[in-house]
Amino acid sequence: MHFLAPGDACRNAIIQYIDSAITQLQICVFTISDDRITKSLLAAHRRKIHIKIITDNDKSLDLGSDIHQLANAGIAVKMDITSNHMHHKFMIADSDTLITGSYNWTLSAANYNYENILVTREATAIKAFANQFEKLWKEMQER
């Protein structure tokens, strides 16, 4: 499946997969500043979904960034503290669904930007992204 922005399609798909998660979410995104996505992540955390987020340290300081709110709620967050950017945008839900694409998890992405996400259950792709997530998780700093 694929979804395009501007519009609500990408955001709604991301929220749908967060809301339907049963055990875990591995999220690797440049930033999160869309309050609707944040609300969904906080609800998943309250449902005891195991959530790990990797993000960019510079973007976490932007006005409107929800990264510190998520970390303060008890969600595991690690950040890239290098001079480069952690610019990935993907989520693995329950080890069997990959959501990836250009879509930044921001309000402006939904309202203004030409963006996309692709949802797949193709095992080879999921494994490659899961390996990348684990590699980055070991390298990044805890918030």
Using CB atoms within 10 A of its CB, is residue 75 exposed (0-12), middle (13-18) or buried (19+)?
A: buried
The contacts of residue 76 (CB under 8 Å, 6+ apart) are: 51, 52, 53, 142
Catalytic-labelled residue, pool 50, 85, 87, 135: 87
28 touches 4 (CB < 8 A) = no
Is 96 noted as a catalytic residue in this protein?
Answer: no
Is 62 noted as a catalytic residue in this protein?
Answer: no
Catalytic-labelled residue, pool 45, 52, 58, 94: 94
Is 87 noted as a catalytic residue in this protein?
Answer: yes
Using CB atoms within 10 A of its CB, is residue 9 exposed (0-12), middle (13-18) or buried (19+)?
A: middle
d(CA 54, CA 26): 8
Q: What tokens were used for 113? A: 């930007």
143 touches 68 (CB < 8 A) = yes
Q: What is the set of active-site residues?
A: 87, 89, 94
